[in-house]
Structure 1
Amino acid sequence: MKKALALFAVLCLFSGSAAAGFDGYVEVTNDTGYDIYYLYVSHAKSKSWEEDVLDEDILPDGHTVRVNLRGAKSSIFDIRAQDEDGDTYTVWEIDVARDDVVFTLDDMD
């Protein structure tokens, strides 16, 4: 009986942490040569982009912004930036638990 209760407690512990999802952040650096006006971070399985995380701010060339992510299903995200000319830069299925993002002209869509 004690073994069964101990196993149940361990399973509850792991299932609770899995249900909580991913809490973390990703740092996004703009190295495009242009100011970024819009930045979208969406779960990789999402069918649409989330709201602009910069809100009314911009991400100037050469600067970095930290985007906090809470309660996501996993740490795999798609990230899109849009510059002052309307050009977009996208990285797909990046594991933000392991990698940050540096947008360059090579990432232009």
Structure 2
Amino acid sequence: MRKYLAVAAVLTCAFTAPAAAENLEFLLVNSSSSALTGFYVSAASSEHWEENLLEGQILASNYEVTVTIADGLTTCIYDIRGVFQDGDVVEDMALDLCELGEYTFTD
């Protein structure tokens, strides 16, 4: 299984944001040999992926970016989906983003 990540900007996931909820941040690192063309984060309780946080951009190999989840939810448990330029898709389920700190895609 291949894992990847990287870009040089802040990705913000702002689905809906009540003022009482805290934002979650983690570093996304692409240590793979392929560019990341799609990056999705959804609450583990959701049946659907949220929109592509890269929005038509790519996260090149050997780059990293800070991801901010500002969806207003009180959960820490999220699913992550990465889509790569070479056609690979990686999904990692039920991650505790409150404790994560960093997520790295590798070959």
TM-score normalized by structure 1?
0.72
Q: CA deviation at 1:73?
A: 3.0
Alignment of 1:39 onto 2:39: yes
Q: In 1, Cα distance between the equivalents of 2:95 and 2:68?
A: 15
Mapping for residues 7-22 of structure 1, pairs under 5 Å: 20-22=20-22
List gaps (5 residues or longer) in structure 1: 1-18
Secondary structure class of the residue paired with 1:29: strand
Q: CA deviation at 1:28?
A: 1.2
List gaps (5 residues or longer) in structure 2: 1-18
**More RCO (CA 8 Å, sep 6+):** 2
Give the conservation status (yes or no) of the 8 Å contact 1:53–1:67: no
Letter in 2 for 1:59: L
Which one has a larger percent helix, Structure 1 or Structure 2?
A: 1
Structure number with bigger Rg: 1
| 1:45-90: CA deviation from partner (whole Å, max 9, x where unpaired) | 1101000001121101111121211212311111111000221112
Q: Equivalent residue for 2:78?
A: 77
Identity %: 31
Aligned length: 87
CA RMSD of aligned residues (A): 1.6
Give the conservation status (yes or no) of the 8 Å contact 1:41–1:50: yes
TM-score normalized by structure 2?
0.73
Dislocated runs of 4+, deviation >3 Å: none
